[in-house]
Chains A and B, each alone.
Chain A
Amino acid sequence: MSSDLIMVIVVGTALAFDFTNGFHDTANVVATSISTGAARPQVAIAIASLLNFAGAFISISVAATVAQDVVDAGVITPTIVFAGLIGAIAWNLITWSFGLPSSSSHALIGGVVGSAVAAAGFDAVIAEGLVGKVLIPAVVAPVLALAVAGLAIGLVYRIVGGQRPGVVTRGFRYGQIISGGLLALAHGTNDAQKTMGVITLALIANGTLGAEADPPLWVIVSSATAIALGTYSGGWRIIRTTGTRIIKMDAAQGFSAQGAGAAVILASTHFGFPLSTTHVINGGVMGAGAGKRISAVRWGVAGNIVVAWLLTLPAAAAIGAAAYGLTRLFGTGALGPVLVTLASVALIVAIFNRRARTGAPVPAS
């Protein structure tokens, strides 16, 4: 009975994380389309929501990585997964509150690794998986997106440079509907799978599924729904940071940034790398800006984002470890997760109140 209640709390917390992932990360996906005028904000967000939902059904490679290659499922318990999720949600909300596009994916993995280490020591971590499938791609992906977008925009300007600006801008705005949609699809397939992976990990730890099991259909459908609803809720603060503060983009740059981001995320998803869409799209935006003119990128803002990236894994791990310690103060039953969940809800309310006091979200235009 107690383990069933813990599992219900874990699944509920994972879907709550997925929801926060949607409104935190997907803002990055639509920011470029909105800032270049390719799509109206509500239309862009609605399309992104639908494509995030669809994307979640495309692949399960990333879910398998999260469930089996980062921490040792043999020593993991549902309570460890729960504490890791609390670490991820807390860090997501803190960075969202400050308008920083940090990585939900790395927050999730950091949170789970932190709580696993607190519970079972460093032996619980699969170093090969963590380094080879998370840390190395975490460094490579944004640099790759930057290079792809920079190279692409250089070639674009050579090809269309002598043509009438009106035709070119209109063309790339139409193109951005496709590239933005592709990016939303890529986001759905990579990010929703992380929630599928962590729920699957908890189900394996609980003995509900076998060690090598794929995510059940109900896990896929509920994860897809949660990320789509989160996306529709929007994330205006981060849209503003990504869409206008890093660089002021034209439609060709927006298309190049989104195309680069989609290509990197889709290729990485194919190989099961759970990378951050936030890292990738910001890398693409910087590349598209730098490809036109290095000084066009507001490197100070970009630097703040890099700092948030660097902090994410250790900060989420620390919060995940603390959440595990707090949960275990109340024993191994359901009381700890229940009390920590209530405390987390109080934290969420406090953060929303803080945002309400500091003013309404600012549109991107």
Chain B
Amino acid sequence: MAVIVETQDLLQTIAASLIAGVGVTVVFSVAIWGAARFADLNRDERPLAAGTAAALAALALAVTVAAVAIGIVAMAQK
């Protein structure tokens, strides 16, 4: 039987799925962690730490949205 498995495409699919699936989920979790920490630290009246947590949450959320947008655009370009 000839070589019929499209190994290159399959490996790229596996790599892209792992990076996007795990990466986006982890980054979004960081956003939630940041939001939760912001709420706690704000309640404890620690504004500097709360602000840092909020900034981290916002950054992680922005990365999540950007990753989703880039993923859709990349897929549509073939």
Residue ranges of A at the interface with B (Cβ–Cβ < 8 Å): 58-59, 61, 127-128, 131-133, 136-137, 140, 144-145, 147-149, 151-153, 155-156, 159-160, 163-164, 167-168, 171-172, 175, 178, 182, 185, 189, 252, 255-256, 259-260, 262-264, 266-273
**Mask of B1-43 contacts with A, CB within 8 angstroms, 1/0:** 1101110011011101110111011101111110111011000
The smallest beta-carbon distance between A254 and chain B, in angstroms, is: 11
The smallest beta-carbon distance between B36 and chain A, in angstroms, is: 4
- A-B pairs with beta carbons under 8 Å apart, 21 shown: A59-B76, A132-B4, A132-B6, A137-B10, A148-B17, A152-B26, A155-B25, A160-B36, A163-B32, A163-B33, A259-B28, A260-B17, A263-B20, A263-B71, A264-B13, A264-B17, A266-B20, A267-B13, A267-B20, A270-B13, A270-B74
Q: Which of A144, A175, A178, A252 contacts B17 (CB 8 A)?
A: A144
Measured CA separation A128–B28 after assembly (Å): 40
Measured CA separation A172–B35 after assembly (Å): 12
Q: Are B21 and A131 in contact (CB under 8 A)?
A: no
Q: Closest chain A residue to B65 by CB distance?
A: A178
Contacts of A164 in B (CB 8 A): 36, 39-40
Q: Are A172 and B32 in contact (CB under 8 A)?
A: yes
Contacts of A128 in B (CB 8 A): 2, 4
Contacts of B18 in A (CB 8 A): 144, 147-148, 151, 263
Closest 3 CB pairs of A and B: A263-B21, A171-B32, A148-B21
Contacts of A252 in B (CB 8 A): 29
Measured CA separation A131–B10 after assembly (Å): 12
Q: Are B28 and A267 in contact (CB under 8 A)?
A: no
Q: Does B68 sit at the interface, judged by CB under 8 A? A: yes
Q: Are A270 and B75 in contact (CB under 8 A)?
A: yes
Residue ranges of B at the interface with A (Cβ–Cβ < 8 Å): 1-2, 4-6, 9-10, 12-14, 16-18, 20-22, 24-26, 28-33, 35-37, 39-40, 64, 68, 71-72, 74-76, 78
Q: Closest chain A residue to B76 by CB distance?
A: A58
Contacts of B35 in A (CB 8 A): 167, 171
Q: Are A268 and B13 in contact (CB under 8 A)?
A: yes
If A144-B14, A266-B20, A266-B71 touch, whether A171 touches B5 (CB-CB below 8 Å) is: no
Measured CA separation A260–B23 after assembly (Å): 10
Q: Closest chain B residue to A148 by CB distance?
A: B21
If A144-B14, A167-B32, A167-B39 touch, whether A266 touches B6 (CB-CB below 8 Å) is: no
Measured CA separation A272–B75 after assembly (Å): 10
Measured CA separation A171–B32 after assembly (Å): 6
Q: Which of A148, A160, A260, A273 contacts B29 (CB 8 A)?
A: A160
Q: Closest chain B residue to A133 by CB distance?
A: B6
Contacts of A172 in B (CB 8 A): 32
Q: Closest chain B residue to A140 by CB distance?
A: B10
The smallest beta-carbon distance between A214 and chain B, in angstroms, is: 13
Q: Are B68 and A58 in contact (CB under 8 A)?
A: no
Measured CA separation A167–B25 after assembly (Å): 16
Contacts of A268 in B (CB 8 A): 13, 17
Q: Closest chain B residue to A186 by CB distance?
A: B75
The smallest beta-carbon distance between B33 and chain A, in angstroms, is: 5
Other than the given A131-B5, A132-B6, A145-B17, 4 more pairs (CB < 8 A) read: A140-B10, A140-B14, A160-B32, A267-B75
Contacts of A273 in B (CB 8 A): 9, 13
The smallest beta-carbon distance between A281 and chain B, in angstroms, is: 12
Q: Are A132 and B26 in contact (CB under 8 A)?
A: no
If A148-B21, A270-B74 touch, whether A159 touches B14 (CB-CB below 8 Å) is: no
If A182-B68, A266-B72 touch, whether A155 touches B36 (CB-CB below 8 Å) is: no
Contacts of B29 in A (CB 8 A): 155-156, 159-160, 252
